[in-house]
Amino acid sequence: MEYSEALEYISSTNRFGVKLGLETVAELLKLLGNPQDDLKIIHVAGTNGKGSVCSFISNIIKEGGYNVGLYTSPYLERFTERIRVNGEEIPDKDVADIVGIIKEKIEIMTSRGLANPTEFEIVTAMAFYYFKMKETDYVVLEVGLGGRYDATNVIEKPLVSVITSISMDHVAILGDTLGKIAYEKAGIVKKDGSVVVYKQKPEAENVIRTACVVENADYIEVNSENISIIDSDLRSQTFDFMDRNVEYKGLEIRLIGEHQVKNAAVAIRTVEFLKVNNLIEIDETVIRAGLVNTRWPGRIEIMREDPLFIIDGAHNLDGAKSLAKVLEDNFGEEKHTLIIGMLNDKDVDGVIEVLSPHFDRAVVTLPISDRSMDVEPLKHVIGDQIPDVELRADIEEAVKFAVDTAVDGEVIVGAGSLYMIGVIRSYLKKG
């Protein structure tokens, strides 16, 4: 099988949709020899920030000299971004070879009358298989959707579970209240395990604490009151963090926004848990290096200086609030240009209401997804908030228009669906 054929095969399983549950992926992994059982896994769920937290943790572990796998989703520009070892993407040939093996196992399953695995189940199985093949020391595993019935939750005994910020998203699948969504995220808490938790809203916190009581698991909260931001701009941030009996002074990260400082603290607390429990050997120097060397594309990322062009995957209300705070802190009351595309199943009204005060011009475009919101309805929503709205359904045309018509000192922000942000990023990198 060639790489292009492998991607085509994976994409063809889109027709099976999203099916939350563990039976199918468990059967597939059984036929593959249950590679996940031989991996040391840090399992990360949440609504916002889980990708950043995964990146911080994996970079810290890598700086410690370990062989570390990282599994995330979705990808921005290339499918291979989703599966990495020591920061290096899975080679095309390995994708093709492993998909060929998985395809054979799926044929066995379907011949027995079992369900065909979904796209996410196949990619998750591929990740486990690859990480075992590469003899990784640790794997940082990001949940795809929810937690309880997400394919990644087929693992039985992670070293530690992590839950990042929880907010309203995917309500049609996970539930229409914060408590219901938290219940699904808390599904990754394992019996007699431990979970490191970002400071949550009370409704979500109560649900996760209850899950920990039921499973006899340790609830380890990362309190934002123990964080002091010393300096923050669009290039870097420095902060102090008190972690129980350990005090870190002058830590530096290159990810932008107060929320990323909190995400870094969650990563530190997770690594400290592993260290205290003799699950890893890492010192403060390694933690510092891992933090400062972490990059996470598409999250308040500066792509161009003239005009200043920032991209951010703010696709839900809390993500929009984090972006709005960065704009407020760095640009005050100045108005700029927003390039935006959204998916139909997101809180479009909420996102627009939060972002609109920072923009006097918007360019509406169409993310590459069958769930994309058409440009005309999105223009109608934005038109009530931002006076000047242009339509450019093609993403590259939207970027070119915004750049070509920008005035001196203007800032352009591409925000919304990650299915749009990746295209913008690729286009701007081409120059």
pLDDT tens digits for range 83-137: 999 999 999 999 999 999 999 999 999 999 999 999 999 999 999 999 999 999 9
Looking at the DSSP assignment, which residues form a beta bridge with residue 416?
Answer: 341
How many Å apart are CA 346 and CA 371, to the nearest integer?
10
Structure-block tokens of residue 247:
């005090």
State the CB neighbour count (10 A cutoff) for residue 8.
Answer: 12
Dihedral angle of Cα 367, 371, 374, 378, to the nearest 10 degrees:
-80
pLDDT tens digits for range 21-78: 899 999 999 999 999 999 999 999 999 999 999 999 999 999 999 999 999 999 999 9
* pLDDT of 79: 97
Structure-block tokens of residue 156:
């039985």
The DSSP symbol for 201 reads: P
Instruction: Please list, residue by residue across 132-160, b when 16 or more beta carbons sit within 10 angstroms of its beta carbon and e when fewer do.
Output: bebebebbbbbbbbbbbbbbbbbbeebbb
Max distance between CA atoms of the chain, in angstroms, equals 65
* pLDDT of 104: 98
| Residue-by-residue DSSP string for 248-311 | EEEEEESS-SHHHHHHHHHHHHHHHHHHHTTS----HHHHHHHHHT---TTSSEEEEETTEEEE
Q: How far is CA 383 from CA 56, 324, 390, 414, 417, in A?
A: 38, 19, 10, 17, 19
Structure-block tokens of residue 82:
């989703």
How many Å apart are CA 13 and CA 345, to the nearest integer?
21
**pLDDT beneath 70: ranges in the chain:** 17
* pLDDT of 245: 77
How many Å apart are CA 130 and CA 270, to the nearest integer?
24
* pLDDT of 180: 97
State the CB neighbour count (10 A cutoff) for residue 265.
Answer: 26
User: What is the pTM for the complete model shown?
Assistant: 0.95
The DSSP symbol for 326 reads: H
* pLDDT of 17: 66
How many Å apart are CA 386 and CA 319, to the nearest integer?
19
How many Å apart are CA 210 and CA 205, to the nearest integer?
8
Looking at the DSSP assignment, which residues form a beta bridge with residue 363?
Answer: 339, 390
Structure-block tokens of residue 223:
């309190």
Domains and CATH numbers, the chain: 3-292 (3.40.1190.10), 301-429 (3.90.190.20)
The answer to whether 108 and 8 are in contact (CB under 8 A) is no
State the CB neighbour count (10 A cutoff) for residue 332.
Answer: 8
